[in-house]
């Protein structure tokens, strides 16, 4: 319990740091939002629902979606919510999206400092802008899209750089369809986690959520059954217990990222080792709040 308390203290330090930055730049008119219910009890994990907008959205469509979310009613007090927007839309959401939804980016660079890295975004720049979260290791970036993908070691190094800069990280892992069918799901997940476990201190894990994304279920409409997802989440938590520590395993949040939407969120979120979701398509619609309310 002492370690879990320390985890909470470390997370609060980062949150306070980002909040101080945000106060300087966020428009005064940003709605505060509403909360309902009770926070997670001591020793329980707070859910984390992240929205990944990927490479989507125009200025007009983002403004409309922000209005939809701002008018969507209260967020349960035992849920943290974050929207990871494309870089070009970060300024808009930082100044207009309700303040009880944290703002995240979808990637950050390997460089620890700003410099001659054309086209790159440094983690410290994101913190300076008021961004709180970042996604590292998403399968689309690991695989690559018309370019070389990011391997396990690179993802782990970027994770560490982002944490050291003061960001919280949704660290994505997961297997392809043929790997699932071959029975090597946990081997794949372990291979993706191992470099991170070597680089991170126990304190670092206070600001990491593991996003388990079965690649075969991303954007396909296919979804693991709640029982399948729970089995893998439990295996991931067991791996963390064995390779990091039991305390970190108990505290770390593991999100499910395989086509979660309002229609299936409640069953998935009811599983004991599923602590939230990393939501793609549904985060671009009003249905995102059905996912959030799936914890009720």
Residues with a known catalytic role: 138, 213
Contact between 38 and 77 (Cβ < 8 Å): yes
For the chain, the distance separating the N- and C-terminal CA atoms, rounded to the nearest angstrom, is 26
What is the spatial distance between Cα 133 and Cα 102, in angstroms, rounded to a whole number?
7
The strand pair at 253-256 and 208-212 is best described as: parallel
Closest CA to 65 of 29, 97, 26, 32: 97
CA angle 78, 232, 75 (to 5 degrees): 15
- Number of other residues whose CB lies within 10 A of the CB of residue 114: 13
Structure tokens of 152? 């396990």
For residue 161, give Cα distances in angstroms to 94, 126, 149, 266, 277. 23, 12, 19, 34, 24
* Sign, Cα dihedral of 213, 277, 229, 223: negative
Range 248-253 contact pairs with CB under 8 angstroms and sequence separation of 24 or more: 248/3, 248/7, 248/202, 248/205, 250/4, 251/3, 251/4, 251/7, 251/45, 251/205, 251/206, 252/205, 252/208, 252/209, 252/210, 253/45, 253/46, 253/47, 253/48, 253/209, 253/210
Q: Is 145 exposed, middle or buried (0-12, 13-18, 19+ CB in 10 A)?
A: exposed
Structure tokens of 245? 């520590």
């Amino acid at each position: 319990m002492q370690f879990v308390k320390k985890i909470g203290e470390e997370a609060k330090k980062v949150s306070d740091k980002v909040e101080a930055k945000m106060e300087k730049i966020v428009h005064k008119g940003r709605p505060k939002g509403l909360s309902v219910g009770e926070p997670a009890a001591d020793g329980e994990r707070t859910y984390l629902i992240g929205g990944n907008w990927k490479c989507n959205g125009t200025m007009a469509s983002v403004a409309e979606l922000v209005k939809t979310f701002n008018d969507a009613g209260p967020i349960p007090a035992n849920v943290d919510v974050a929207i990871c927007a494309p870089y070009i839309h970060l300024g808009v959401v930082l100044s207009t999206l309700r303040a009880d939804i944290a703002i995240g980016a979808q990637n950050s660079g390997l460089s620890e400092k700003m410099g001659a890295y054309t086209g790159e975004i440094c983690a410290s720049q994101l913190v300076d802008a008021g961004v709180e979260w970042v996604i590292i290791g998403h399968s689309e970036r690991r695989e690559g899209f018309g370019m070389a993908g990011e391997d396990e070691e690179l993802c782990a190094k970027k994770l560490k750089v982002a944490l050291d800069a003061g960001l919280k990280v949704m660290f994505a892992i997961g297997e392809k369809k043929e790997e699932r069918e071959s029975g090597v799901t946990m081997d794949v997940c372990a291979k993706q986690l191992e470099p991170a476990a070597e680089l991170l201190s126990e304190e670092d894990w206070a600001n990491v959520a593991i996003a388990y994304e079965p690649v075969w279920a991303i954007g396909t409409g296919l979804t693991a059954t709640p029982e399948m997802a729970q089995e893998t989440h439990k295996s991931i938590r067991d791996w963390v217990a064995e390779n990091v520590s039991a305390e970190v395993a108990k505290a770390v949040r593991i999100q499910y990222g395989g086509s979660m939407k309002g229609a299936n969120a409640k069953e998935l979120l009811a599983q004991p080792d599923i602590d939230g979701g990393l939501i793609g398509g549904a985060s671009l619609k009003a249905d995102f709040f059905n996912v959030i309310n799936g914890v009720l």
